[in-house]
Amino acid sequence: MEGIKITKEVDARGSFCPGPLMEMIRLIRSAQVGDVVAVISADEGTKKDLPAWIKKAKHELIAEEPVEGGATRFICRKLH
């Protein structure tokens, strides 16, 4: 994503649900308000659960970027 600086990213490929979601929760817990963080995952369950969690937690899902090999980079801004 151009113009957006990712403060911290975790590559969670090879880890299955809830691993990638827990990585996102850990990143959000330790980030400052306004920080942008990202998790890369190829897990099917995560594709549904991670955006659902971001919505429930009222943060902003900036993008779901495809990454080579069928994985997705979930980019999220901490809003509160």
Catalytically active residues are 17
SS3 at position 70: coil
Using CB under 8 A, which of 6, 31, 57, 61 touches another protein?
57
Binding to another protein in span 11-50, by CB under 8 A = 15-19, 21-22, 25, 28-29, 49
Query: Phi/psi class of residue 58: alpha, beta or left (left: φ > 0; alpha: ψ in -120 to 50)?
Result: left
CB 26 within 8 A of CB 55: no
Q: Which residues bind another protein (CB under 8 A)?
A: 15-19, 21-22, 25, 28-29, 49, 52-53, 56-58, 80
